[in-house]
Structure 1
């Protein structure tokens, strides 16, 4: 029986997850947004809870993973390229990443589509740190 490997805490995915967790709590918009979103930076999950248009928490969840409205998964390279100050064409938007098969969205798409610009801006919060 093969034992699943535990992701290294100093890997690029862990660094990206920590960066997002550090930057996300400062993100807010004047909207009535209430949702729970699971992000995956490679093998590293981050549970983001949004209440009243602001990020209430962004933290690494314990196992088993808690329930969420939807999940957004992408490789470490995809997040790194998406978060460049000026991303190249095809790496600039979550739907462009999906078209490249670099990003996958699972779960209930209704909250995502209802608050699409909010979600896109939240996911791009890592760009602001490099600008």
Structure 2
């Protein structure tokens, strides 16, 4: 798979992508999780490949339509609020973001729902650096 370099601009979305790509590869849980998830931080995207409960890669995909099981897309501001050490009510959970219409969930929902706690924990890795 051809991969673009991680964004070098100083926009909030680019900063969040760099932080997530730095932290996500160390995330693992003893679970049989196999999925490809596209995470959108505003205009910036990260394709996360999880194999055997471990993040195998978290990279900026090349091309307009990378293959994935599902995608989770929100504005950079929404992710920034979600990643606060103690997020405010309505910004603390994926479904709270979705209810606020800040997060779009697309694709095959079966792997998302089957491994929901794993995915929630993975997407919250950005909080650990601010605590």
Question: Smaller-chain TM-score range?
Answer: over 0.9
Counterpart for residue 130 of structure 2: 130
Give the match for residue 33 of structure 1.
Answer: 33
TM-score (norm 1): 0.93
**1:63, distance to aligned residue in structure 2 (A):** 1.1
Runs of at least 4 residues off by over 3 Å = none
Task: State the shift of 1:64 in Å.
Answer: 3.4
Q: RMSD value over aligned CA atoms?
A: 1.2
Q: Which runs of 5+ in 1 are unaligned?
A: 1-6
The 1:8/1:56 distance shift into structure 2, 3 A limit, reads closer
2:17 counterpart residue number? 17
Report how many residues are paired.
Answer: 125
Deviations 1:82-113 (A, max 9, x none): 00000000000000000000001000000000
Distance in structure 2 (CA, Å) of the matches to 1:23 and 1:81:
17
Q: What SS does the aligned partner of 1:113 have?
A: helix
Instruction: Give me the whole-angstrom Cα distance separating, in 1, the residues matched to 2:52 and 2:8.
Output: 34
Question: What pairs up with 1:71-86 in 2 under 5 angstroms?
Answer: 71-86=71-86
Gaps spanning 5+ residues in structure 2: where? 1-6
Structure 1 counterpart of 2:4: none
Deviations, residues 66-91 of structure 1 (Å, cap 9, x unaligned):
21000000001100000000000000
SS in 1 for 2:62: coil
Q: Which of 1 and 2 has greater Rg?
A: 1
The reply on whether 1:113 has 2:104 as its aligned counterpart is: no
TM-score by structure 2 length?
Answer: 0.93
CA distance in structure 1 between the partners assigned to 2:13 and 2:93 by the alignment: 19
Q: Distance in 2 between matches of 1:14 and 1:94?
A: 20
